Amino acid sequence: MDEPGVPWRQRARRTRTAVRAWLRAARTAFASAGPERDAALLALKAAIATVIAWQFAVRVLDSPTPFYAPMAALLVVDRTMVRSIGASAQRVAAVVVGMGVAWLVGTLVGVHWWSMVPVMVLALLIGRWRRLGDHGIQVPTMVLLSLLTVKGTDTDFTYLTIVETIAGGVIGVATNAVVFAPLHIQQPRDEVRAMTRRVHQLLTDVAQGLRGGWDGQAARRWYDTSSEIVQSAPTVLEAIATGRESTRFNPRHEVRPVDIDWAGYERTVETVRRTQWQVSGIARTLVDAADEAERQPAPDREFLERYAVALDEIGEAVEHFGLPDENERNEVQRHLEAAITVLDELGLEVKETPLDDPHAWPAYGALILDAQRLARELALKRDEATVPTDSGPIRLPLSERVRDMTGGPAQTQE
């Protein structure tokens, strides 16, 4: 049985925790750019758009119930201009369809219990139309509202509702464009860099572990880390897609365009995701070798030390992978060739030299094969991948590159 006062203390503790988390997010949003600041700006813009639309409905449209304009403005402010425009069009279309169906039914057959059933079924089916997106629910909502309040026959009510919705959508889109137009460039850059650095660190850790002594716990940690990198890839790809989308119809990007190799970012993430299949395979082989229940003998120390050299070389290749410079690409190639040379030598020795434990050959073969595939996967995408540098865009805008080649002044824009 709970002690008296415990539930209250738990609620108070949860409240304090929530308040501290909110304060941390607020401090982060104020101090630096990032998801927290993006969320705060989005909320601020939605509030501004709502108030402007409300005052527009009251003062300009003279609406007795100024609800539809601010609601439309609130719902169409989104993370990118493309989504904002799309949401506005979907909402307007849904309201127009809903009010049109209600007006047609109310005018032709009137509002009766027997007419409401087929009308609501039709409205719900239309509301599920994919092109209306999340705003499809507005179709049955507007049908029901119009039929129950004015029986669908009040032309002024129908007209004013549609006009308010259109005005609110326009105000929401305009506010989103004018007030801190959303341009999500930094987050995908940071996430792509973080992903490749994490892969480099993982390969370095595995190599150091193989030299300095390792056990099943360390191998499982490497396996889990590799799996986490694979699972993070969809999130990074989504951030890249949002960043690319945020440059469309964006006034800030039109004024100061930045030429970013979004496709190169995507190829980097896809390549890293595929390489982790091989890293996971390496870690899994080591996990099995350390597990007595698996009865899989581990390779000898000399082999693992030389194998660690190959992993170090691949890790160094990842450190330079995707950087936009010919010297960097040459470094990638140099490190990968060195790794493949070591692996080929190990493979030849395993093939021609009797093993201390003949039952260990599956572990030797699996480690060599996975590392070779890892190196070749990186070599295959060496010239196509792009990893953002720490400052400045990957490439100058086309107009800036032309001026730079002709000797004119050029600026690096973010």
Cβ(396)–Cβ(410) below 8 Å: yes
pLDDT at 133: 87
Cβ(392)–Cβ(336) below 8 Å: no
pLDDT at 411: 37
Q: Which residues contact 393 (CB under 8 A, 6 or more apart)?
A: 258, 259, 260, 412, 413, 414
pLDDT at 400: 41
Residue 358 to residue 289: CA distance in whole angstroms = 14
Q: Six-digit token pair at 20?
A: 């501290």
pTM value is 0.77
Query: Domain check: are 165 and 217 in the same one?
Result: no
Tally of domains within the chain = 2
Query: Domain check: are 174 and 157 in the same one?
Result: yes
pLDDT at 316: 94
pLDDT digits (tens, 9 = 90+) for 22-51: 666 556 655 555 567 788 888 999 999 999
Residue 320 to residue 317: CA distance in whole angstroms = 5
Q: What is the full DSSP assignment across 226-260?
A: HHHHHHHHHHHHHHHHHHHHHTTT-HHHHHS--B-
pLDDT digits (tens, 9 = 90+) for 149-174: 877 778 888 899 999 999 999 999 99
Query: Domain check: are 312 and 388 in the same one?
Result: yes
What stretches in the chain show pLDDT beneath 50?
1-6, 391-414
Q: Which of 178, 208, 229 is the last residue in one of the domains?
A: 178
User: Residue 77's domain spans which residues?
Assistant: 43-178
Determine the residue type at 5: G
In the three-class reduction of DSSP (H, G, I as helix; E, B as strand; rest coil), residue 395 is classed as strand
Residue 411 to residue 398: CA distance in whole angstroms = 12
Q: Which of 158, 178, 198 is the last residue in one of the domains?
A: 178
Q: Is residue 97 part of a domain?
A: yes
Q: Which of 398, 329, 387 is nearest to 188 (CA)?
A: 387
Q: Which of 127, 144, 178 is the last residue in one of the domains?
A: 178
pLDDT at 412: 36
